[in-house]
Amino acid sequence: MTSTAPAQRRPARFRPALPSTLTRASGLGLGISMLWFSLLVLIPLCAVVVTASEGGWSNFWRAITNAQTRSAIVLTLEAAVAVTAVNVVVGTVIAWVLVRDRFPGKGVLEVVIDIPFALPTIVAGLVLLSLYGKDDSPLGINVANSGASVYLAFLFVTLPFVVRMVQPVLEELDLEVEEAAASLGASRFTTFRRVILPSLVPAITAGAALSFARAVGEYGSLVLLSGNLPFTSEVASVRILSAIENDNPEAAASIATLLLLVSLATIVVLDLLQRRISDRG
C-alpha cells in the first residue's frame, strides 16, 4: 500500500490541470466502450426515469403512494436498514475472526462467506426454505410467507459485503500501534475502540452501503420464500414486476425510479468513502 500511495495521490492532486492523454487508438477504444455502455446501461436507465416522468409529478406520486406499494416500500426499507445494522456488527466480527483468529477449518469459512454472492438468488431462496420454511424444519422454525422471511433472505444475500470490505483493511493494520497502545496500559476493548475501530469505519460504512443497496433491490431469493403476500411480505421489486405484468409501465417506472434514486445516493456515498480510503493509502 505504502509504495502505491504516491502514485495514486499524484494524479488526484494535479487532476484539474491534466489534459486528456487519449491517443487516437485509445480514443477509439473509449468511444466503442462508451457506445456499448450507453446502449446497455445508460439509455435504458434514462428510459426508466423518462417513462416515470411522462405522467407528471401527480401520477408519479400516486404510483408510489398507492397503499399496497407504500407498504411494500416501507417493508423493504425497514428490512434493509435492520439487516444492514446486523451486518455492520456481525460482518465486522466475522472479518475479525478471519484475520486475527486461527483454528482448524478457517479456510472453509472463507469459502462459506462467498457462497451467498455466487449462489443464484432463486437457489438462495430454495436453500433457506429447506431449513426455515417447512413444517418439518429441523429447527422447528417456519418463516415462509411471513414478513420475517424478507429479513432472513436479506441477511443471506448481503452477508459478504461488510466482511469483504473490512477484511483487507484489517489485514493491513499495523500491529505495532496496537501493541504500543497495550503497553501504555490500554485494555483490549479500549485499544479496539480508540485504535482499531477508527481505521475500520470507512470500510464498514462502504460495506454497509453496498449491503443496503443490494437489499433494497433484492428479488430472486424472495420469490419462493416470502410468498409475496400484499401488506405482509411483498417488497418493492415485486411491486415493480406486478406493474409490468399488469401492463402498467408508468407505475413500474415510477417505483423503479424511486429505487434508482436510493441506489444512486448509495453509490455517491460509496464513491466518496472509497476516495477517502484510497487517499489514506
Partner 1 sequence: MADLSTTRRTRGPVTYLLRVVAVVYLALLVVWPVALVVTNTFADGLTSLRGLFEDPDMVAALQLTAVAALCATAINLVFGVSMSLLLVRTEFPGKRLLSAALDLPLSVSPIVIGLALVLVYGGRGGWFGPTLEGWGFQVIFSTPGIVMATAFVSLPLVIREVVPVLREIGTEQEQAARSLGANGWQTFWRITLPGIRWAVVYGVVLTLARSLGEFGAVKVVSGNVLGETRTATLAVEEKYLNFDVEGAYAIAFLLASVSVVCIVVVQVLRSRADRH
Give 22 or 74: the residue with its C-beta nearer to partner 1. 22
DSSP for 74-127 reads: HHHHHHHHHHHHHHHHHHHHHHHHHHH---TTHHHHHHHHHHHHHS-HHHHHHH
Give 107 or 198: the residue with its C-beta nearer to partner 1. 107
Give me the least distance between CB of 66 and partner 1, in Å please: 17
- Phi, psi dihedrals of residue 248, rounded to the nearest 5°: -125, 70
Give 61 or 188: the residue with its C-beta nearer to partner 1. 188
Angle CA 150–153–156, to nearest 5: 150
Cβ neighbours, 10 Å, residue 227: 15
Alpha-carbon span 144 to 151, nearest angstrom: 11
Give 147 or 217: the residue with its C-beta nearer to partner 1. 217
Cβ neighbours, 10 Å, residue 46: 11
Give me the least distance between CB of 232 and partner 1, in Å please: 19
Give me the least distance between CB of 58 and partner 1, in Å please: 21
Give me the least distance between CB of 198 and partner 1, in Å please: 19
Give me the least distance between CB of 221 and partner 1, in Å please: 9
Give 97 or 201: the residue with its C-beta nearer to partner 1. 97
